Amino acid sequence: MHSGFLHLALNMLSLYFLGSFVEASFGRGRFLALYLLSGLSGGIAYLYFGGFASPAVGASGAIFGLLGGVLGDALRRGTFSWQNPVIRQLLILLAINLYLGLSIPNVSNTAHLGGLAGGLVFGYLVAPTVYSRKVARALSPVLIVLAVETILLGLWLFVGVRL
């Protein structure tokens, strides 16, 4: 669900360009996990910080998470530097989007930042490095359990608010 055509178009354009880059860098499986967990962490942040008053729409939290995943990967690899052109462009893009989020009414910055934080952690922990297969295998069951628990918690909170 999106708030309008422009919202949908911007999310899809961002997903196309950033998503293509992240999928090529991380692989399909990690890309999908990063996208879903970032969307989930954005939703949790939205709910945790009082987002019950209005509905959250769109995929922006997950898209911010893709950006966070690349930044987390760069932190782990030691390539996080303003001198790195990819990192520089992503940081500028992040700054512009955060500014727009603060300037436009009814934008859920908590969902954006929650998705970014989730992506940053995921990118740092499960980045495609030499040891990442071992780490990913070890973390996969943990991440699945956490995702299921988080979904159940979110449903409980949502139903609890509705009652």
* Catalytic center residues: 60, 112
Return the closest-CA partner of residue 89 out of 97, 78, 77, 100.
97
Pairwise CA distance, residues 53 & 17, whole Å: 32
Q: Two tokens at 157? A: 């909170």
Virtual torsion, Cα 102, 108, 111, 116, nearest 10 deg: -20
DSSP string spanning 62-128?
HHHHHHHHHHHHHHHHT---TTSHHHHHHHHHHHHHHHHHHHSTT--HHHHHHHHHHHHHHHHHS-S
Pairwise CA distance, residues 144 & 28, whole Å: 17
